Amino acid sequence: MGKKALDTKIVTAGRSKKWTQSLVNPPVSRASTIVFDSVADMKHATANRANKALFYGRRGTNTHFAFQDAMVELEGGVGCALYPCGTAAISNAILSFVKTGDHILMVDGAYEPTRDFCDKILAKMGVETTYYDPMIGEGIRDLIRPNTSVLFLESPCSITMEVQDVPTLARIAHEHDLVVMLDNTWASPINFQPFEHGVDISIQAATKYIVGHSDVMLGTAVANERCWDQLRESSYLMGQCTSPDDIYLAMRGLRTLGVRLKQHEQNSIKVAEWLMGREEVDHVRHPAFESCEGHEFYKRDFKGCNGLFSLVLNRGNTEALTALLDGMEHFSMGYSWGGFESLILANENINSLRTATKKEFAGPLLRLHIGLEDTDDLIRDLEKGFERFN
Ligand SMILES: Cc1ncc(COP(=O)(O)O)c(CNNC(=O)CNC(=O)c2ccccc2[N+](=O)[O-])c1O
């Protein structure tokens, strides 16, 4: 089969007749017990339970198999493990490749619950974490120890948006036989091809853009040949399984992921450009703009962006921020992002989330998720917000 264009892949991925039974969408197959007609059938299913044979609910059903195929077709790799949320994908991927006495390298700009997992769970297991500067590049070599087993990246970083030099970090990590894991949620499987840049395991909080409608919690981890068996079997032993209903909704989200991301990109760039002209804004931290650390890596490695970016104000206290936030009409305050709605989150002390690299910001940070609303409405909303702020 010829090389499919990405938009065609998004429409066709995961739609093997094995799973769809000639329906356009793979039906929702719910199961715990799966029954067999003969001892031979049961033995065949048992022998192939790790290879998408119907065996037991925890291994998945045709609904899961279709989505796993789709994720591998879109993101690369050889296999996709499924988890009840992105945080579970992160923790299970790491747990699958560490043992007591190991050391891991974690990017300093990681999502806060990822940091908490390292500090509160891994530490109890005798796994030590060193946080590193997201922009460290070749310097990562100096942090690698004989007992280092995992290099974890998140690019761009959750709130401060630094874009990492993934191929350089992965190359150095592989010189020391580390497993390279990337939280690829911001790019989704569309805008950054992790395995083309040296990643071994690509993690998605599918909760965000893949589902795209703020109504499912889901995580995925796609692995290459080197890591797939160990990731799959460790995650199975840790009881990681998901509802076929959620998988169905995630599969539905995949089909519009390309067009939604394009609109989020168009909208976020227009709003970011407007914000750059505001006197209250010190700088905008949007990977598509030079003012974002690692912008050169975004231009080199990414195919596009989305609606999520941050900005740093040049002044402001809690009272002024509250006045800005409380009166918003279109920007809701809420955790998560990647749905169709616009969101706003404020952070007045980013250094409480940093260990290796302290930031000297001129003022508070705002993280915006630019949804699919009309950008003139969104800009008017922000304009009124700044009037309350001042
Ligand atoms: C890059 C990345 N990677 C993994 C996850 C976790 O996904 P999940 O929410 O499906 O578990 C996320 C989830 N993102 N959520 C947010 O950015 C907003 N949520 C929060 O800030 C939040 C929520 C609950 C508890 C603590 C926090 N927090 O980051 O402080 C992510 O952004």
Shortest-distance Cα residue to atom 26 of ligand 1: 113
129 C-beta neighbours (distance < 10 Å), count: 21
Cα 45 to ligand 1 centroid, rounded to whole Å: 37
Residue 4 pLDDT level (bands cut at 50, 70, 90): confident
Annotated catalytic residue: which of 15, 52, 111, 165? 111
CA distance 347 to 327: 17
Closest by CA position to 365, among listed 347, 349, 387: 347
Average pLDDT over residues 123-145: 98
pLDDT for position 107: 98
Annotated catalytic residue: which of 15, 52, 208, 255? 208
pLDDT digits (tens, 9 = 90+) for 177-200: 999 999 999 999 999 999 999 999
Residue 248 a catalytic site member:
no
Cα 337 to ligand 1 centroid, rounded to whole Å: 9
Query: What share of the chain in percent tops pLDDT 90?
Result: 99
Shortest-distance Cα residue to atom 7 of ligand 1: 86
For ligand 1, residues with CB inside 6 Å are: 85-87, 111-113, 154, 158, 183, 185, 205, 207, 217, 219, 335-337
Q: Please name the residue ranges forming H helices in the chain.
A: 6-12, 17-20, 39-47, 62-75, 86-95, 112-116, 166-175, 188-191, 228-237, 244-276, 295-301, 318-326, 375-389
Q: Is the pLDDT of residue 2 over 70?
A: no
CA distance 69 to 36: 24
302 within 8 A of 192, measured Cβ to Cβ: yes
Strand-strand pairing, 343-347 and 308-313: unpaired
Annotated catalytic residue: which of 43, 58, 145, 358? 58
In the numeric block, which tokens belong to residue 266? Answer: 């168009």
Residue 183 a catalytic site member:
yes
Q: Is the pLDDT of residue 16 over 70?
A: yes
Query: What share of the chain in percent tops pLDDT 70?
Result: 99
pLDDT for position 228: 98
Q: Is the pLDDT of residue 61 over 80?
A: yes
Cα 44 to ligand 1 centroid, rounded to whole Å: 40
pLDDT for position 116: 98
Q: Is the pLDDT of residue 37 over 80?
A: yes
Cα 121 to ligand 1 centroid, rounded to whole Å: 17
Examine residue 156 and say whether the peptide bond preceding it is cis (omega within 30 degrees of 0): yes
Average pLDDT, the chain: 97
pLDDT for position 110: 98
Q: Mutate which of 191, 208, 218, 220 to test ligand 1's pocket (most atoms within 8 Å of Cβ)?
A: 208
Residue 130 pLDDT level (bands cut at 50, 70, 90): very high
Q: Which atom of ligand 1 is nearest to the CA of 207?
A: 10
Backbone angles phi, psi at 202, to 5 degrees: -105, 125
Closest by CA position to 187, among listed 171, 169, 201, 208: 208
Q: Is the pLDDT of residue 310 over 90?
A: yes
Whether the pTM exceeds 0.95: the reply is: yes
Average pLDDT over residues 262-284: 98
In the numeric block, which tokens belong to residue 249? Answer: 């909704």
282 C-beta neighbours (distance < 10 Å), count: 17
Q: Is the pLDDT of residue 12 over 90?
A: yes
Average pLDDT over residues 351-371: 96
In the numeric block, which tokens belong to residue 265? Answer: 């990109």
Q: Mutate which of 158, 159, 164, 217 to test ligand 1's pocket (most atoms within 8 Å of Cβ)?
A: 158
Residue 274 pLDDT level (bands cut at 50, 70, 90): very high
CA distance 165 to 197: 9
Q: Is the pLDDT of residue 1 over 60?
A: no
Shortest-distance Cα residue to atom 22 of ligand 1: 335
